[in-house]
């Protein structure tokens, strides 16, 4: 009898630890909503709405701006929109690459903003769970069937793996040009809308970058200014109450993550990434949310690269027959 009780307890503990991936269909939009859960951490994703991870809860605390209607998930106002292949703004809504011009519909003061993939449907390619995590895999194929392909008509595919573990969520992207015939110039970024947890003035930001990018009308000019020469040296914690930014930072390193401290709530949000993510955008509007955006390149990277500013731009290029990958992870820590 005692042996049976021990085995039952071990089995129950294993089941309790195992991650889950659940799917339900929203009756209003008809979209499938995927819920990934591990322990007391839950994330919700709608692949058909730009593969936006629009909710991230740890111990019943929501960290993202969630819309009141799921129909508002596509776009760049809620959750964690994906910015690709042009993170943030493109000057004049166009750029040239290897003698070829790419034009986009102006949607921000004559510029083009936030890329092509945040509102189009992605295809789920699989999911998996184990005792430590839950994972959802999806992809978007750039071909004639995709809305917006005519603006960036380079045949390739972008894959996304989203993994929820206890207290964290991780994105792994892959730009697959293995069947392509021309290079794919791109940038990848996440645009999370984080909620303040407690008082804004008691929320502190640390960005261990090396430089700030001088800009005009929120478009970088290609000049890197050492952080010590700016009024917002974020290498040491600064209160969000003192910050009014919509700016690009340069020189991010994998061993030095971004840290957001919710001091009055005794919580920390750590943003980790690999070496591909050299840039970061910080946006602090007068709203109950803020954005800290890990980017593999600068805003307007394609035009900066065309102007010879390759280091400043850090434009990613995936040659024919190759694949480029990178990752970002959000980690919640409590005191």
Helices of type H across 121-279: none
Report the alpha-carbon distance of residue 137 to residue 254 in Å, rounded: 24
User: In whole angstroms, how far apart are CA 335 and each of 59, 148, 267, 327?
Assistant: 13, 45, 6, 26
Confidence of residue 115 (pLDDT cuts 50, 70, 90): very high
Using the predicted structure, report yes or no on whether residue 11 has a pLDDT greater than 80.
no
Report the alpha-carbon distance of residue 108 to residue 104 in Å, rounded: 11
Predicted confidence at residue 18, as pLDDT, reads 86
Q: For residue range 224-258, what is the model confidence (pLDDT) as tens digits?
A: 999 999 998 999 999 999 999 999 999 999 999 99
Percentage of the residues of the chain whose pLDDT score is greater than 70: 95
Report the alpha-carbon distance of residue 122 to residue 160 in Å, rounded: 9
Predicted confidence at residue 154, as pLDDT, reads 98
Report the alpha-carbon distance of residue 317 to residue 304 in Å, rounded: 14
Q: For residue 16, what are its two tokens?
A: 């309790």
User: In whole angstroms, how far apart are CA 264 and each of 199, 268, 270?
Assistant: 7, 11, 17
* CB proximity list for 241: less than 8 A, separation 6 or greater: 200, 201, 203
User: In whole angstroms, how far apart are CA 118 and each of 24, 43, 63, 86?
Assistant: 21, 18, 20, 11
Report the alpha-carbon distance of residue 187 to residue 88 in Å, rounded: 10
Using the predicted structure, report yes or no on whether residue 13 has a pLDDT greater than 70.
no
Report the alpha-carbon distance of residue 316 to residue 331 in Å, rounded: 26
Report the alpha-carbon distance of residue 221 to residue 216 in Å, rounded: 7
Phi and psi based region of residue 13 (left: phi greater than 0; alpha: psi -120 to 50; beta: remaining):
alpha
- Give pTM, 2 decimals: 0.94
Q: For residue 82, what are its two tokens?
A: 């994906």
Using the predicted structure, report yes or no on whether residue 210 has a pLDDT greater than 50.
yes
Q: For residue 183, what are its two tokens?
A: 């290079």
Predicted confidence at residue 325, as pLDDT, reads 98
Confidence of residue 122 (pLDDT cuts 50, 70, 90): very high
Which of these, 95, 153, 87, lies nearest to 305 by C-alpha position?
A: 95
- Region 300-319: mean pLDDT is 98
Q: Name beta bridge partners: 126.
A: 137
- Region 293-308: mean pLDDT is 98
Residue 108 CB neighbours (<10 A): 14
Confidence of residue 17 (pLDDT cuts 50, 70, 90): low
Using the predicted structure, report yes or no on whether residue 6 has a pLDDT greater than 70.
no
Q: For residue range 127-183, what is the model confidence (pLDDT) as tens digits?
A: 999 999 999 999 999 999 999 999 999 999 999 999 999 999 999 999 999 999 999
Report the alpha-carbon distance of residue 78 to residue 205 in Å, rounded: 21
Q: For residue 109, what are its two tokens?
A: 């003061």
Mean per-residue pLDDT of the chain: 94
* CB proximity list for 222: less than 8 A, separation 6 or greater: 213, 304, 307, 309, 312, 313
Report the alpha-carbon distance of residue 111 to residue 96 in Å, rounded: 15
* Location of structure tokens 């042996």: 3
Predicted confidence at residue 31, as pLDDT, reads 98
DSSP state of 40: T
Confidence of residue 37 (pLDDT cuts 50, 70, 90): very high
- Count the residues in the chain: 335
Using the predicted structure, report yes or no on whether residue 196 has a pLDDT greater than 60.
yes
3-state class percentages of the chain: helix first, strand second, coil last, to nearest 5: 15, 45, 40
Confidence of residue 8 (pLDDT cuts 50, 70, 90): very low
Predicted confidence at residue 12, as pLDDT, reads 38
- Region 283-295: mean pLDDT is 98
Predicted confidence at residue 258, as pLDDT, reads 98
- Region 306-321: mean pLDDT is 98
Report the alpha-carbon distance of residue 202 to residue 205 in Å, rounded: 10
Report the alpha-carbon distance of residue 294 to residue 281 in Å, rounded: 7
């Amino acid at each position: 009898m005692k042996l049976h009780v021990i085995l039952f307890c071990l089995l129950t503990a294993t089941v309790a630890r195992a991650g889950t991936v659940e799917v339900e269909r929203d009756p209003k939009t008809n979209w499938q909503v995927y819920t990934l859960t591990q322990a007391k951490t839950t994330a919700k994703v709608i692949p058909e709405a730009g593969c936006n991870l629009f909710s991230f809860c740890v111990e019943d605390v929501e960290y993202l701006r969630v819309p009141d209607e799921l129909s508002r998930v596509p776009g760049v106002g809620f959750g964690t929109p994906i910015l690709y292949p042009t993170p943030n703004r493109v000057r004049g809504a166009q750029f040239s690459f290897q003698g070829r011009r790419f034009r986009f519909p102006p949607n921000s003061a004559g510029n083009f903003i936030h890329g092509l993939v945040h509102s189009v449907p992605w295809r789920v390619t699989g999911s998996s769970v184990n005792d430590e995590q839950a994972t959802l895999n999806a992809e978007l194929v750039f071909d004639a069937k995709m809305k917006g392909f005519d603006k960036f008509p380079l045949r390739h595919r972008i894959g996304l793996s989203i993994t929820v573990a206890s207290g964290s969520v991780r994105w792994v992207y892959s730009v697959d040009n293995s069947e392509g015939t021309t290079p794919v110039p791109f940038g990848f970024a996440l645009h999370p809308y984080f909620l303040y947890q407690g008082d804004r003035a008691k929320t502190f930001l640390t960005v261990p970058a090396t430089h700030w990018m001088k800009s005009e009308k929120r478009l970088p000019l290609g000049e890197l200014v050492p952080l010590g020469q700016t009024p917002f040296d974020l290498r040491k914690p600064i209160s969000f109450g003192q910050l009014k930014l919509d700016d690009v930072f340069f020189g991010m390193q994998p061993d030095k993550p971004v840290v957001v401290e919710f001091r009055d709530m005794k919580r920390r949000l750590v943003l980790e990434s690999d070496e591909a993510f050299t840039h970061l955008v910080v946006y602090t509007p007068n709203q109950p949310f803020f954005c800290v955006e890990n980017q593999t390149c600068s805003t307007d990277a394609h035009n900066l690269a065309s102007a010879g500013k390759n280091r400043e731009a850090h434009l990613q290029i995936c040659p024919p027959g190759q694949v480029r990958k990178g990752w970002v992870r959000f980690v919640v820590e409590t005191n």
